[in-house]
Amino acid sequence: MDLLGDQAVLQNNALEGKTALICGASRGIGAATARIMAKAGANVILASRNEEQLNSLLNELAELGGGHHQTLVMDLEDTEGIAGCVQPILDDGPIHILVNNAGGPPGGPLLNATVEELAQPFARHLHAAHCLVKLLTPGMIMADYGRIIQIISTSVREPIPNLGVSNTLRGSMASWAKSLSRELHPSITINNVLPGFTDTERLGSLAQSIHERTGQSIEAIHDGWMSQVPIERLIDPLETASVIAFLASPAAGAIRGVSLPVDGGRLRSI
């Protein structure tokens, strides 16, 4: 399955001429999304705190598509600094596509979390996303084109045990996006993608956390996860990225306010 091959990405350079800001782009689903969008012709802005990883990915994007790509070193927890990072880019023209994506909070029961442990992830996810939307939507309206996509979690539908803070945060993000879907300009869509068990460093760290807490082997943890997934495998980040790129495309203009699982069929809810 060559998801970066000519037959697997959006056809006819569907994102050519569009500029996409991808948060959390240094690895995982964010990096995969950057690759897919570059292949589809977009100008990609890679945003993360890790400048070294961003530069490495930037070199790779130059080989994938003809767009103009750049990096943006930005700390999403510094909500007061977001405008200063993004405004110089907006001065050169609108950002048409925003992918809100950031690393999830540590696992653990919700009752064990302090108020401070709730506040930090909310700043990195919800507060940062809100700041970015307020900054970017005027340019989207002028361009008569906007796509806002959140990468959140299947816990929006079914809370995941021992991820109390994350479950709370993801549900808030989904409700925020649904509320905005009724307020945004008609040319702007907002949608959520809900990844399932995806082959990323994040999933590996969660497995390690469970192993340290329970003594269960990593292999047993993995097998337990796969027993819940009808496709019986982890999801490739490029599979999730392909869905994100479609939602960012003109073809998805009628899709608005949805939370779309990319989970291999794990969710039991309709």
Per residue in 158-215, pLDDT tens? 998 888 999 999 999 999 999 999 999 999 999 999 998 888 777 777 777 777 777 8
What percent of the chain has a predicted confidence (pLDDT) above 70? 96
Q: Are the C-beta atoms of residues 238 and 32 closer than 8 Å to each other?
A: yes
Contact 70, 92 (CB under 8 A): no
| Length of the chain in terms of residues written | 270
Helix (H, G, I), strand (E, B) or coil at 86: helix
Residues 143-165, mean pLDDT to the nearest whole number: 94
Q: Could you give the angle at which helices 51-61 and 28-39 cross, rounded to 10 degrees?
A: 30
- The beta strand positions in the chain, using DSSP E, are 19-23, 43-48, 70-73, 97-100, 146-151, 188-195, 259-262
Instruction: Look at residue 165 and give its three-state secondary structure.
Output: helix
Helix, strand, coil % over all residues of the chain, rounded to 5: 45, 15, 35
CA angle 216, 217, 222 (to 5 degrees): 105
Contact 95, 89 (CB under 8 A): yes
Which residues belong to CATH 3.40.50.720 in the chain? Answer: 11-198+236-262
Residues in Cβ contact with 36 at an 8 Å cutoff, skipping those fewer than 6 apart:
3, 4, 9, 10, 238, 241, 242, 244, 245
- For 206-249, how does the pLDDT look when each residue is reduced to its tens digit (9 = 90+)? 777 777 777 888 888 777 778 889 999 989 999 999 999 999 99
CATH classification of 11-198+236-262, choosing from 3.40.190.10, 3.40.50.720, 3.30.200.20, 3.20.20.70? 3.40.50.720
19-23: strand order across its sheet = 70-73, 43-48, 19-23, 97-100, 146-151, 188-195, 259-262
pTM score > 0.75 for this model? yes
Helix (H, G, I), strand (E, B) or coil at 84: helix
